[in-house]
Amino acid sequence: MAMFYSPFRETRVWGLRMLLWVGGTNTSSTLLEWEMSELLSHPECLKRLQEEVRTVGKGKQSVSEDHIQDMYYLKAVIKETLRLHPPFPLTVPHVSTEDVNLRGYHIPAGTQVMINLYAVGREVAIWGPDTADFKPERHLNSSVDFLKDQTENNVPESIGVVIRRMFLLIVSASPAT
């Protein structure tokens, strides 16, 4: 009986299972840790967030997930935390589907690329000279809602568009096979 190649060998299944578990748990806990650290380091932001939660939850017995739609400062705090402290500094590898010229560099179709989210979150041309500062207010006037929007304005959710917008990236040495 001939042996055939299966992409779902036991080691691959185990690896995928670990990737899903780490990606689903570590990212959330990392976000919460950085969020609390930033809020404790910036008491004025913490106070404003507390006021927002109290205002939205006023007269209610508890605040639920449905109330998040009305918590604009909370969304801004989450966006700013993800900008400064992405759970993973580099994205998972992607493969370019067509030739791209990016800031004078030619990236042929089939090249494996990884976006440096850490660098994108600190790009002065995008975020201004105060890029290292925790300022959730920079996201308040944005029309993007991270709970609904999957467009180029939502950096963690829009890696493909980021490449087109000519942000920073790391190109691997060899094209994907």
Domain boundaries, the chain: 10-175
Say how far apart CA 118 and CA 89 lie, in whole Å: 5
* Mean pLDDT in residue range 136-148: 75
Give the total residue count for the chain: 177
Token look-up 């029309």 returns: 143
* Mean pLDDT in residue range 9-20: 63
**pLDDT digit string (tens) for 46-78?**
999 999 988 998 888 888 888 888 889 998 999
Amino acid at 101: N
Contact at 8 Å (CB) between 31 and 82?
yes
Q: Higher-confidence residue: 32 or 43?
A: 43
DSSP for residue 171 = E
Say how far apart CA 37 and CA 81 lie, in whole Å: 10
Dihedral-angle region of residue 92 (phi above 0 means left; psi in -120 to 50 means alpha; beta otherwise): beta
Contact at 8 Å (CB) between 146 and 79?
yes
DSSP string, 122-138: T-HHHH-TTTTS--GGG
At residue 158 the predicted structure's pLDDT band, cuts being 50, 70 and 90, is: very low
Amino acid at 5: Y
**Fold adopted by 10-175:** Cytochrome p450 (1.10.630)
Say how far apart CA 155 and CA 138 lie, in whole Å: 14
* Mean pLDDT in residue range 137-141: 90
Helical spans, DSSP H, in 1-150: 10-41, 43-56, 72-84, 117-120, 124-127
Token look-up 């689903």 returns: 24
* Mean pLDDT in residue range 105-113: 88
SS3 64: coil
Q: What is the pTM of this model?
A: 0.68
Q: Whole-number mean pLDDT of the chain?
A: 75
pLDDT of residue 102: 81
